[in-house]
Structure 1
């Protein structure tokens, strides 16, 4: 048995091959281009790599062109956490020396000694991987949009509180097209106070508003003309220019999030698992795509539902030493899936009578805090999702929550 370790870098990579006894068979320094990839594949073929019996590879990343080349065929690629690789390095040298060829050798030896303790990259379909790219990008764009909106809100509190009061009743607040159009039209409170009802109506129409334009324009004019404290004129103008710069970033972030959301809505329904995922209460297209992106469609990835629950961070973890024992929530988990699970459980409480009854039972009978009760609900529902995906069945309320529904009745 031959094992391969690759120390990944931006421009070049170091490769090491070892056998069952740990003897170094070969090492190479390759470039991150097509020529380097061909040299790597030729080296693996020289030491017995075939289509039916490929050599397993350990590398410290799970993405990139090099990983895509290695994942072709039946080859198992193991993405080793850099922290885990650092711990393994101490087994070979107590002097704490470090080199790129040495790290490649450490990665190869990780597979030689403990390959059973590490999980290979899942064998997901190309469509599932494409959905994962879009869903994660949309999630990042949403987070980036909220970050910029928070920065803009913090700036407006310093000199423009009237506009914050004006958009307070709108969902999504500063991210709405009406709010962005209003700020573009009047970047300072002094200019906002001079806006007429006709100008406000035109701004609302440009933002795409269809109903209640006259009443909304009247409300905005009353708020913007109310009595507020002002910064000195020069300072106010400078803050207005700073606000416009942030507004450009916010508009770009909103456009990116919307475009990626449309791409997700187009790609996710094409997946065979989409119908099952969308049958669960609380899961829409965007949130369902995020769940699929993290769990994939490789049915052999998780041995049972408990493995998926631990991966999602919803199941508790027990820490015991001597006479001391504690049960706490997991800190090492898939953060994206855990975040999607929090939103999923929150939505399911209102979308499913059984989920709401389960949540209330955790709050009332077990004295759980809100987050703990939601995490318990997510733990149960993601286990049900695993079973439905394995059996190719849709979600059934009576099967999922028979006890809770009977108690609620």
Structure 2
């Protein structure tokens, strides 16, 4: 058996090959791409004996995505994606100085898959459909987060030189297309005060806003309110900054809408989509995000507990001596945790059983977030059962043992 540690960078890979005794057989710096993969295969053939078995080649690497990882899996190698935090802790057994090098990381990764392979998680064999869902779902969520950051920058800029705009466009919502168009048309207090009701109404009509006359009058009155002024040169600089942020939000809105359609299209093509959509609190976008992070490898999670641990919804127990505490997991997959939190919140209205379970947790004097996390944990277990048995969610089956209190 060959054990390979692969420390990847943007344009190269530092690899070390060991045998089962930990003896170093080779070390190399491989370029990214086809040439580097070919050289890696040559090293495996050279040190693996005649007709090496790909299944006996074990690779440790600090990522689970990308064309390099997919090429390793396609070659038949056993690939383990190792969390960089685990690698950092593992290296502490060598030295406590905190020294770091690419060759040292490759050596540590090779040692980890040789010594602690039973404690590591192999890269899941997700289908092409699941990988496609993950790509577009992550991109969609990333753009939404970027839009939020850009909006906060715009809001902060307006508070510094034009707070009246925040009041004027409050009813329209500052991220809406009509509010952004008005802001671009008149980004400074002086020009905004000169906007006529007709100009405002025209913009609102273009974006199909209801009660246009009333809203136009409200916006015009708010823009003409007197406020503290800055020097003209400073105001012009702020106005240019606000315009740039507004145009960026408009572009992000367009791309988010296009990606949303892609997310729905890819998700609905997946064979598990029907089961995910049967769950309470899950629609196309939330379902796509949950599927993307869980994957669709049927052998990835040995039990519902394993899926809950991966999701980060199950608590962590810390017991030492007479101390015994149970706390929430904070080191977890944040994308998955956000999607499951959204599902649990929506399920409170969609599922009577989920509502009863949540109320039961609140009756135990749990706070809002802990109770919602407990509900999310329960829903993950139900989802695991549905996927294992290939059956859609059923309200009566899911909550039958929670319908009535158990006798003392």
- TM-score band w.r.t. shorter chain: over 0.9
Listed as ranges, the matches of 1:73-222 within 5 Å are: 73-92=75-94, 98-170=100-172, 173-206=173-206, 208-209=207-208, 211-222=210-221
Cα 1:98–1:362, aligned 2, differ >3 Å: closer, same or farther?
Answer: closer
* 1:30-69 C-alpha deviation (Å, 9 max, x unpaired): 1113211111122223315756635111112222332121
Shift of 1:244: 0.8
Listed as ranges, the matches of 1:347-386 within 5 Å are: 347-363=346-362, 365-386=363-384
The residue number in structure 2 matching 1:57 is 59
Shift of 1:404: 5.3
Q: Distance in 2 between matches of 1:403 and 1:191?
A: 65
* 1:262-283 C-alpha deviation (Å, 9 max, x unpaired): 2101111000111111111211
Q: TM-score, normalising length from structure 1?
A: 0.92
The residue number in structure 2 matching 1:20 is 20
The residue number in structure 2 matching 1:68 is 70
Moved more, 49-58 or 124-133: 49-58
Cα 1:96–1:375, aligned 2, differ >3 Å: closer, same or farther?
Answer: closer
Moved more, 302-311 or 48-57: 48-57
The residue number in structure 1 matching 2:35 is 35
Q: Distance in 2 between matches of 1:342 and 1:133?
A: 21
The total of aligned residue pairs comes to 403
Cα 1:27–1:209, aligned 2, differ >3 Å: closer, same or farther?
Answer: same
The residue number in structure 2 matching 1:273 is 272
The residue number in structure 2 matching 1:8 is 8
Structure 1 gaps, min length 5? none
Q: Distance in 2 between matches of 1:167 and 1:63?
A: 43
Indicate the SS of the match to 1:174. Answer: coil
Moved more, 193-202 or 85-94: 85-94
Q: Distance in 2 between matches of 1:282 and 1:96?
A: 46
Is the 1:51–1:73 contact (alpha carbons within 8 Å) kept by the matching residues of 2?
A: no
Listed as ranges, the matches of 1:305-320 within 5 Å are: 305-320=304-319
User: Which of residues 393, 396, 400 in structure 2 aligns to 1:395?
Assistant: 393
Cα 1:115–1:355, aligned 2, differ >3 Å: closer, same or farther?
Answer: same
Structure 2 gaps, min length 5? none
Is the 2:2–2:56 contact (alpha carbons within 8 Å) kept by the matching residues of 1?
A: no
- Cα RMSD (Å): 2.1
